[in-house]
Structure 1
């Protein structure tokens, strides 16, 4: 599972862990090649020996390459990996306290290990995917509403409100 980390510093164009342009370009090329969904993905070593990659590995490489091409740092975790609340909060780009509230309200499953909460990487990734889909849907609705009331029309003046 490839997981992209987004931190508050990612909001600026230059970040401390930004992916350099040549690496982004190479990642975009790899994503383009892997995205073609060719029947066979192979690696060739220095001696010319070919190794066919399993599709699941090619899929992980494709996801990672896409994220890197966007300039987003990537971490690959096994599905069964158990994360601390801080690590999960970092992946979701929320505070640890907010994440604990999500766990306590049952919105995000977790297990107790001693006095600590641990979250499965797959649960965190699924939560992030669902959250991002909700956000995108809400943004689409907001854009549609703005278009309906003429919020994007250029050159028109809105009447001023007087109180």
Structure 2
């Protein structure tokens, strides 16, 4: 499978969405447990038992929640090395803009030969930092608007 398909899978079908909603509802009952034992059954009736750690149950719930909303989901290890195009796609920016951010030191990267590589962890950290900054600016704008009596009480 090409890398782009791994990063951006197709959206779920209506049947997938319905099954994810039901599965999410059932699994949510077990969300606060340290471990969950599950029995998987195939179409032929064969079955296997699994024991899932609590954090894995939370991850599975997050995946099911996204799928139930019709969103395609991708899971990638935080230590995955991304090309500049893959990183730009995750940030929803152009590749040249991402390269500018890299060269300005906004996001850590390393070179493999002449190619820049970015860890997924660094992209996630940058995205979280930018989101936090945006929220701080919006909070400040709301505060100033309230002080000026602009109807944001």
- TM-score tier, shorter chain, comes to 0.7 to 0.9
Closer, same or farther: CA 144–124 of 1 in aligned 2, 3 Å:
same
Asked if the contact 1:41–1:53 (Cα under 8 Å) also holds between the matched residues in 2, the reply is: yes
Aligned runs of 1:1-163 on 2, under 5 Å?
Answer: 19=12, 23-24=16-17, 26-27=19-20, 30=24, 33=28, 36-46=31-41, 47-152=46-151
Contact 2:31 2:58 in 1 (8 A): no
| Structure 1, gaps ≥5 residues long | 7-16, 154-163
What do the CA deviations read for 1:89-108 (whole angstroms, capped 9, x no partner)? 01011111111011001110
Aligned residues: 140
**Cα distance per residue 1:109-146 (max 9 Å; x no partner):** 01101111000011111111121122122222223333
Segments of structure 2 that go 5 or more residues without pairing to the other structure are 1-6
Residues 110 and 120, structure 1, Cα contact 8 Å, conserved in 2: yes
* Higher RCO structure, 1 or 2 (CA under 8 Å, sep 6+): 1
TM-score, normalization: structure 2?
0.72
TM-align CA RMSD: 3.1
